[in-house]
Chain A
Amino acid sequence: MMRKVFARGSGWLGATVLGAVLLVQPAAAQSDNPARVLNVVAPWEVASLDPAQHGHAFLRLEVAQTLLEVDGAGRPLPSLAASWTVSDDRLSWRFVPREGVVFHDGTPLTAEAVAASLRHARAKAGVLKEAPIRSIKAEGGAVLLKLTEPFAPIGAVLAHSSAIILAPASYREDGTVTAVIGTGPYRVERLEPPQKLVTTRSDRYWGPAPAVEAVSYLAAGRGETRALMAESGDADLVFTLDPASLRRMRSSRAVQVQSIPLPRTVAIKVNAGHPFLKDEPARRALSLAIDRAGIAAALLRAPEAAAGQLFPPSLPDWHHPGLAPLVQDRAKAEALLADLGWSRGEDGILRRDGVPFRLSLRTFPDRPELPLLAAALQDQLRAVGIALDVAIGNSSEIPAGHRDGTLELGLMARGFALIPDPLGTLVQDYGVQDYGVRDGRQGGDWGAMNWNEPRMAEALAELLRNPDQARGAELRRTVAALLQDELPVIPVAWYQQTAAVSRQLRNVSLDPFERSYRISAMGWAE
């Protein structure tokens, strides 16, 4: 009896050992596919096929394409539309689809397919829904898009990742995307949400065939992980490096680091209706208390990132070199605050009529440097007598606080090229919302709050009507100057995109608009 049970026991032990041996044995299954796979690692997950949510992944990996592309300055270029015309009243746009283009399933790109794809996109939340579009339909072999009012950035809206053009077979009847069947040089081989997307070269692509045959994309949330994957050679192309790894990798032999300024700025969104912040000198004092150079050098490890104004130099049309840069001047900040009736209490915090100068600052950890910057700002404002309560939560706390009026300060990272023409974003952030939402108030979820400046609203409205070049440049300078003088948001730092690139890859370049990884242009070094 005893012996029998023991025999069973040793069988179990044996199974454990056998299992462990099997576990440790390397797999031999991966050798069927001889194509060299380019491994891309980035922080952005691909949780679904929905272009409204994750169109950026399919656009960047060149699976899907948009009707229009943009040049380096964000101006529209032909892509799936070979050409386009605009009516004199600027309300009717006609796009002619490129001939000879087929989707990955072999069906041809027709005006009907394009119009249907855009109508699906417009039915979901996103930039197409917000744009003043009356109708989108196919007519005489072209796509006819009608607007309710002139809207200059419409070309950039059509270049947005949520407006990628997919084959009719991609959609269910209710508009849900069940497969991403695009027109790009790569087609989806396998998607394992939320982390992995594998693509291979499509033999139906209408342009020149790319040299890289297969791509595997992995979303890795931690910066340390991404950096280590680059250093170990597991990844050939790694996006968004944390400042600490960046320094180490600049001296690595296996990888080279590339960086490019992005049209994105870290800024403090200010509730200009708050009793402490409604006066321009109060906002100016906050701005003067901030040590941007110190933040850029010590926290971001990129001294050129100190934001002297809202628009970075990477937006040449909007960056205004004539503006005096925002700098730190603590004495001046203290003087401005004293003029507004604030004086230091015993604890070093400013008081006015017995009320302490205490504000809450909301921010979110999706961009890992934001909480760090919030801590630095807390310290720097404390030095001039302003107490900050930092609340790190969900990114939606900022628009929710904008809506219900409870937001005091919000630290955000605002991209100006979400659609490649910054005007679209600026109208949302600083214009009068008389399209889409139609509540008639100035400002937006990620821009000004309770700040009413008719000159700003007028300048943006005129820009939307597509003025001539000289007038447009003048209006853009007005916008930049108003933002600098009034500080409805307080700029802190400009962003840099950084990438670690394997030395075995050639022709690597970064896209300032983050629309493409440009893999189809790359090749392997022999």
Chain B
Amino acid sequence: MTARPILKTLGHRLFQALLVGLAVGTLTFLLARLLPGDMAFRVAAGRYGYDNVTGSAADAVRLELGLDQPALMALGAWLWDLAQFDLGRSLISGEPVIAAIRHQLGHSADLAGSAILLSLLIGPPLGILAGLRPGGVLDRALLPFAAGLRALPQFVLGVLLIVLFAVGLGLLPAAGYGTMEHRLLPAITLALGLAAVSSRVARDATLAVTASPYYAFARTKGLPEGSAFLRHGLRNIGVPVTAYLGVQLVYLIEGVVVVESLFAWPGIGHALVHAIFARDVPMIQGTALVMALGFVLLNALVDLACFGIDPRRRKA
């Protein structure tokens, strides 16, 4: 009985995924083809580098990839391959797109997941503490601190962290990837920006909850402060904080591009930027598609989490 709204939401998200997939694949193809500049020259520059990109290299690329063929044929071929779950091969490296995405998306997801986890450990607890004593020292200190962190470009924050923890204290590696220690600085760089906002959301939600009639009732009926908060406060605060996670994904994707390049971290943002420069159309399509589907999936998970926290939604 309670499963119906959940299934309805999931069905809605699945339909959305299909539409998003088709639209993103087609749009990225059209946009990549419409970008100014000769595609054969761009691919040649991507493959052979600026020292070796010449007219004759571009001619060879044009011939090899059949770039004189109508663009619609290439789109049709891509959609046909996609129907068979094949994302094609990169025009630059010749490797299957899915292999590149697996490697790079894996590292991006790893970094993004670590960042969200850390941000949840930092942001909401501080926000709740501040919200429980509005106008207190913590609340007054948190606002300028959060605003400052959010306003600081991730690049600057990242460099500051490297200078402090890697060059100054020698505790953590400055950049690179491969071990747990390598993950910390880029994850903290992202997490601080995320926590800056989620702490504000948690603080405002705490304030709203503790000022609500039901919370006042819980206290007047004699519940100790701690029990009232755990039973009636925490869960109500959880809903906006969780819902806000979905919004933060956008910030995360934007941040991941900058942080990946600063920390020499292999990732999807880096891959997408390079693919666009080099007009690696199958790579652009595949990356955009996987990222778009990832968005839909994560939003579906946020929906599910909200269902889990808020029983009213299940009955709606």
**In whole Å, how far is A406's beta carbon from the nearest beta carbon of chain B?**
11
**In whole Å, how far is A220's beta carbon from the nearest beta carbon of chain B?**
4
Which residues on B sit within 8 Å (CB–CB) of A403? 55, 58
Complex Cα distance A428/B57, Å?
13
**Interface membership of B250, Cβ < 8 A:** no
A130 touches B175 (CB 8 A): no
Complex Cα distance A228/B175, Å?
8
* Known contacts A222-B261, A394-B37; is-contact A228 B53 (Cβ 8 Å): no
B174 touches A193 (CB 8 A): no
* Known contacts A48-B93, A232-B173; is-contact A30 B42 (Cβ 8 Å): no
**In whole Å, how far is B160's beta carbon from the nearest beta carbon of chain A?**
11
Complex Cα distance A397/B53, Å?
10
Which residues on B sit within 8 Å (CB–CB) of A436? 56
Q: Which residue of B lies closest to A56 (CB)?
A: B49
Contact for A418 among B44, B51, B94, B238, CB less than 8 A: B51
**In whole Å, how far is A80's beta carbon from the nearest beta carbon of chain B?**
23
Interface hit among B4-12, B117-125, B143-151, B294-302:
B117-125
A396 touches B180 (CB 8 A): no
B60 touches A26 (CB 8 A): no
Interface hit among A15-23, A148-156, A503-511:
A15-23
**In whole Å, how far is B11's beta carbon from the nearest beta carbon of chain A?**
24
Contact for B58 among A126, A231, A400, CB less than 8 A: A400
**In whole Å, how far is A398's beta carbon from the nearest beta carbon of chain B?**
8
Q: Which residue of A lies closest to B47 (CB)?
A: A53
**Interface membership of A9, Cβ < 8 A:** yes
**In whole Å, how far is A318's beta carbon from the nearest beta carbon of chain B?**
18
**Interface membership of B48, Cβ < 8 A:** yes
A17 touches B121 (CB 8 A): yes
Which residues on A sit within 8 Å (CB–CB) of B61? 125
Render A410-421 as a binary contact track against B, CB cut-off 8 A, 1 for contact: 001101001000
B176 touches A234 (CB 8 A): yes
A400 touches B179 (CB 8 A): no
**Interface membership of A229, Cβ < 8 A:** yes
Of B50, B61, B100, B309, chain A has the most CB atoms within 10 Å of the CB of: B50
B121 touches A20 (CB 8 A): yes
B166 touches A125 (CB 8 A): no
A48 touches B56 (CB 8 A): no
A400 touches B163 (CB 8 A): no
A5 touches B121 (CB 8 A): no
Of B55, B183, B187, B235, chain A has the most CB atoms within 10 Å of the CB of: B55
**In whole Å, how far is B310's beta carbon from the nearest beta carbon of chain A?**
10
Complex Cα distance A176/B64, Å?
14
* Known contacts A224-B262, A228-B163; is-contact A400 B37 (Cβ 8 Å): yes
How large, as a class, is the contact surface on chain B?
A: 35 or more
> Which A6-54 residues have C-beta < 8 A from chain B?
6, 8-9, 16-17, 19-20, 23-27, 29-30, 41, 47-48, 50, 52-53
A418 touches B159 (CB 8 A): no
Render A49-73 as a binary contact track against B, CB cut-off 8 A, 1 for contact: 0101100000000000000000000
**Interface membership of B81, Cβ < 8 A:** no
* Known contacts A125-B60, A225-B175, A396-B37; is-contact A192 B54 (Cβ 8 Å): no
**Interface membership of A294, Cβ < 8 A:** no
Complex Cα distance A26/B48, Å?
39
A228 touches B56 (CB 8 A): no
B234 touches A9 (CB 8 A): yes
Contact for B56 among A20, A130, A232, CB less than 8 A: A130
Complex Cα distance A218/B264, Å?
8
Complex Cα distance A29/B52, Å?
41
**Interface membership of B136, Cβ < 8 A:** no
B42 touches A394 (CB 8 A): yes
* Known contacts A9-B235, A399-B55, A403-B55; is-contact A228 B162 (Cβ 8 Å): yes
A221 touches B45 (CB 8 A): no
Complex Cα distance A403/B41, Å?
11
**Interface membership of A329, Cβ < 8 A:** no
Complex Cα distance A187/B78, Å?
37
Contact for B50 among A6, A41, A47, A367, CB less than 8 A: A367
Q: Which residue of A lies closest to B92 (CB)?
A: A47
* Known contacts A6-B235, A17-B121, A26-B181; is-contact A233 B50 (Cβ 8 Å): no
> Which A126-143 residues have C-beta < 8 A from chain B?
126, 129-130
**In whole Å, how far is B129's beta carbon from the nearest beta carbon of chain A?**
15
B235 touches A193 (CB 8 A): no
Complex Cα distance A129/B183, Å?
44
**Interface membership of B216, Cβ < 8 A:** no
Which residues on B sit within 8 Å (CB–CB) of A41? 176, 264
Which residues on B sit within 8 Å (CB–CB) of A364? 50
Which residues on B sit within 8 Å (CB–CB) of A194? 93, 266, 274
Complex Cα distance A415/B181, Å?
39
Complex Cα distance A81/B38, Å?
41
B92 touches A48 (CB 8 A): yes
* Known contacts A50-B94, A234-B176; is-contact A23 B117 (Cβ 8 Å): yes
Which residues on B sit within 8 Å (CB–CB) of A222? 261-262, 264
Complex Cα distance A156/B67, Å?
33
A232 touches B174 (CB 8 A): yes
A8 touches B261 (CB 8 A): no
B179 touches A30 (CB 8 A): yes
Which residues on A sit within 8 Å (CB–CB) of B103? 192-193
A16 touches B266 (CB 8 A): no
Of B51, B118, B187, chain A has the most CB atoms within 10 Å of the CB of: B51
**Interface membership of B311, Cβ < 8 A:** yes
B167 touches A366 (CB 8 A): no
**Interface membership of B95, Cβ < 8 A:** yes
Complex Cα distance A399/B41, Å?
8
Complex Cα distance A403/B59, Å?
11
Which residues on B sit within 8 Å (CB–CB) of A126? 48, 52, 57
B56 touches A125 (CB 8 A): yes
Q: Can you list 16 pairs linking A and B with CB atoms under 8 Å apart?
A: A6-B230, A9-B309, A48-B93, A48-B94, A53-B93, A176-B94, A195-B266, A228-B166, A229-B174, A234-B166, A234-B174, A399-B54, A399-B55, A400-B37, A418-B51, A437-B56
Apart from A6-B231, A366-B49: 11 A-B pairs, beta carbons within 8 A: A26-B179, A41-B264, A50-B93, A192-B266, A193-B103, A196-B266, A220-B175, A222-B264, A229-B175, A366-B50, A395-B53
Interface residues of B (CB under 8 A from A): 37-38, 41-42, 44-45, 47-58, 60-61, 92-95, 100, 103, 114, 117-118, 120-121, 159, 162-163, 166-167, 170, 173-181, 183-184, 187, 230-231, 234-235, 238, 261-264, 266, 274, 277, 308-309, 311
Q: Which 9 A-B pairs have the closest CB atoms?
A: A395-B50, A396-B41, A220-B264, A48-B93, A396-B45, A232-B166, A232-B174, A27-B180, A125-B57
